[in-house]
């Protein structure tokens, strides 16, 4: 893509990585022989997320831009408002049903159910797919592409998703 633009969004959300197991899986061999800490991310916890979406085009619009940042913001505004201050939880998480019941009973927890373990990597793909769908719905995917989505979970940890 000759031209690229990036728009950032901030939101707060909780999650848990219910599949985390630091004693096995890809990379476990890097800590072989060392004491492995408890799986902290299986606990309920939250982040101040920073989402970066990058759009690109080889052709500028008649207004000499890939797309106005205002329109990028509006494409994601509803989703960001929905996920902000929510608890993102996998429908397959063994705790899902009980947390949902607690949320409904007390009204003190906003649940954002997804059909994947809400790791930073999976959430980056989720936002990517959402934005591709939005652009597709209005017929913009021919001239504008979603180049990548970057999701910062902390100031030192991010995940990126690039489409095919």
What does the domain layout of the chain look like in residue ranges? Answer: 3-162
In this predicted structure, what is the pLDDT of residue 8? 98
pLDDT digits (tens, 9 = 90+) for 109-148: 999 999 999 999 999 999 999 999 999 999 988 899 999 9
Q: Cβ distance 6 to 72 under 8 Å?
A: no
What's residue 37's pLDDT?
A: 72
Q: Answer whether residue 33 shows pLDDT above 90.
A: no
> What was the pLDDT predicted at 25?
79
Query: What pLDDT, on the 0 to 100 scale, is given for residue 9?
Result: 98
**What is the average pLDDT across 15-28?**
85
Mean model confidence pLDDT for the chain: 94
Cα 41 from Cα 65, distance rounded (Å): 41
- Residue 41 falls in the annotated catalytic set: yes
Catalytic residue among 71, 85, 121, 160: 85
Residue 38 has pLDDT above 80, yes or no: no
pLDDT in tens, 57-114: 999 999 999 999 999 999 999 999 999 999 999 999 999 999 999 999 999 899 999 9
Q: What DSSP character marks residue 51?
A: E
> In the prediction, which pLDDT does 144 show?
96
Query: Could you confirm whether 117 is annotated as catalytic?
Result: no
What pLDDT is recorded for position 23? 75
Q: Which CATH class is domain 3-162?
A: alpha beta
Q: Is the pLDDT of residue 29 over 90?
A: no
pLDDT of residue 21: 80
Could you give the CA distance from residue 154 to residue 50 in angstroms, rounded to a whole number? 8
* Confidence check: pLDDT of 34 > 80: no
In this prediction, residue 32 carries a pLDDT of: 76
Q: Which of 41, 52, 71, 160 is catalytic?
A: 41
DSSP of the chain: --EEEEEEEEEEEEE--TT--TTSSTTGGGGTTSPPPP-GGGS-EEEEEEEEEEEEESS--TTSSSS-HHHHHHHHHHHHHHHTTEEEEETTSTTHHHHHHHHHHHS---EEEESS---HHHHHHHHHHHHHHHHHHTT-TTT-EEEEEEEEEETTEEEEEE--
Check if the beta carbon of residue 149 is closer than 8 Å to that of residue 55: no
Global confidence as pTM: 0.94
């Amino acid at each position: 893509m000759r031209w690229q633009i990036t728009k950032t969004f901030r939101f707060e959300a909780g999650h848990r990585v219910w599949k985390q197991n630091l004693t096995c899986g890809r990379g476990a061999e890097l800590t072989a022989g060392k004491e492995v800490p408890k799986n902290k991310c299986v606990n309920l916890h939250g982040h101040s997320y920073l989402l970066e979406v990058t759009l690109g085009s080889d052709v500028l619009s008649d207004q000499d831009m890939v797309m106005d940042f205002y329109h990028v913001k509006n494409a994601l505004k509803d989703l960001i408002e929905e996920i902000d201050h929510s608890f993102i939880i996998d429908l397959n998480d063994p705790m899902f049903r009980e947390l949902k019941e607690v949320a409904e009973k007390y009204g003190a927890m906003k649940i954002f159910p997804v059909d994947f373990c809400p790791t930073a990597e999976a959430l980056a793909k989720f936002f990517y797919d959402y934005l591709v769908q939005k652009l597709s719905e209005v017929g913009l995917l021919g001239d504008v592409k979603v180049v990548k989505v970057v999701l910062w979970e902390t100031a030192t940890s991010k995940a990126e998703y690039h489409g095919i």
